[in-house]
Amino acid sequence: MNRKVLLIGLAIVVPIVLVLFMNLGRDPRKVDSPLVGRPVIDFSLQEVSSKQPMDIAALRGKPMVINFWATWCVPCYAEHKVLTRIARANGSKVQFIGVVFDDEPAKILRFLAENGSAYPTLVDQGGKVAIAYGVYGVPETFFVDAKGTIVAKHEGPLTDSSLMNYIAMVTGGAR
Amino acid sequence: MKSLLPVLFLALLAAFPIGAQEVQLPAPDMIVGQPAGQPLTGAALEEQTEQVAGQLRCPVCQGLSVFDSPAPMAVNMKHQVRDLLAAGYTGEQITRYFEASYGEFVRLKPTMSGMNWIVWLAPIAMLGIGIWAVMSFLRRSNKSQRASEAVPDAGAVASAEADDPELLPYLLKVRELAYGWPGGNPPAEGDRS
């Protein structure tokens, strides 16, 4: 009888302990993106300053950093400074693109006038591109290599060092 | 210079009026195939929108469906659900369409496949184990109650002694230990109470 109880207890406890152990280092709020490892989703949106449509398919062949943000997002202010600074230094080898959703063009233009701009900013009215990319919130950033494969997704604001690590990943260069 | 910023900004707005823009993305049929249902309109469209959006998890909320959430992201998703239903896509196709972007997380109800079976079967298994534990506890307590009621009487003891005289010393010892009878002999009838 005791042996039977022990076996049943083990059958319940061992899988629970295993699952907990396997996920010890995992952030419970993080959900893996099914897009990582898959081809980038092409989209065309209007650039906020020039009002011209921009198709990212035309940029194929160059690594890309696609950053989803909004002017109402407080962490995006600090991140914008990081992105602008690093885009100015690395713009020749990586194409930076900002995608703003749930926002108004007038506010975006004011934000860029006050905080600077070093790359195209596209307006995603209706959030269709954000939904296609499975965006949960802002800021979120996708990193695409020269072959057009999404190699990583970063949730939350980027720092100089994390951004440089991702750039090394998409350019195939070591830091 | 800072005081000039609003003027520059307004000038920029006037120079480039912002109108409705066209978003271009891969068509849904590239992800989930051709529409497998009938294009919906009117009340049927609204009813199905509620049903399908009610099965999708709002990505920016805690445990709310896309239909129930007032978050702009959820509202945008609800609009897409309505557009896709109007184009003839089925509820399952629409769910798969969003799953392609968000993963299975977007389903409020996980599918019955792979590891998800644990989610579906664990509550039933736990209920079964609970019932088994209660039943076996009740059975055990009934058995011990019956055993405690079965105190041997002097007649039964005497017949056991007569059965096997070689075991008598052991029998007496056991009785002494089990019942506390001195020397293993049952107390006289008057001392039993």
> 0.80 exceeded by the pTM?
no
Tell me the C-alpha to C-alpha distance, in Å, between residue A16 and each of A43, A148, B111, B142: 43, 39, 21, 34
Helices and strands per DSSP (H, E), number in chain A: 5, 7
Domain A34-171 in CATH 3.40.50.2300: no
DSSP string for residues in A104-162: -HHHHHHHHHHH--SS-EEEETTSHHHHHTT--SSSEEEEE-TTSBEEEEEES---HHH
Q: Could you state, in order of their start, the residue ranges of all structural domains in chain A? A: 34-171
Q: Which residue of A has its CA nearest to B73?
A: A127
Q: Could you state, in order of their start, the residue ranges of all structural domains in chain B? A: 22-106, 118-191
CA dihedral A137, A138, A139, A140 (to 10 degrees): 40
Count of A-B CB contacts under 8 Å? 95
Q: Which helix (H) or strand (E) holds A100?
A: strand A95-101
Contact list in A for residue B20 (CB cut-off 8 A) is 125
pLDDT per position as a tens digit, B115-157: 777 777 888 888 888 898 899 889 888 887 777 666 556 555 5
Domain B22-106 in CATH 1.10.8.640: yes
Window 93-122 of A, Cβ < 8 Å to B: 102, 105-106, 109-110, 113-114
Mean pLDDT of all residues in A120-145: 94
By percentage, how much of chain B surpasses pLDDT 90? 37
Does the structure show a pLDDT above 80 at A161? yes
Q: What is the pLDDT of residue A119?
A: 96
ipTM score here? Answer: 0.82
Window 52-91 of A, Cβ < 8 Å to B: 53, 55
Rounded CA gap, A101 and A131, in Å?
Answer: 10
Amino acid making up residue A93: K
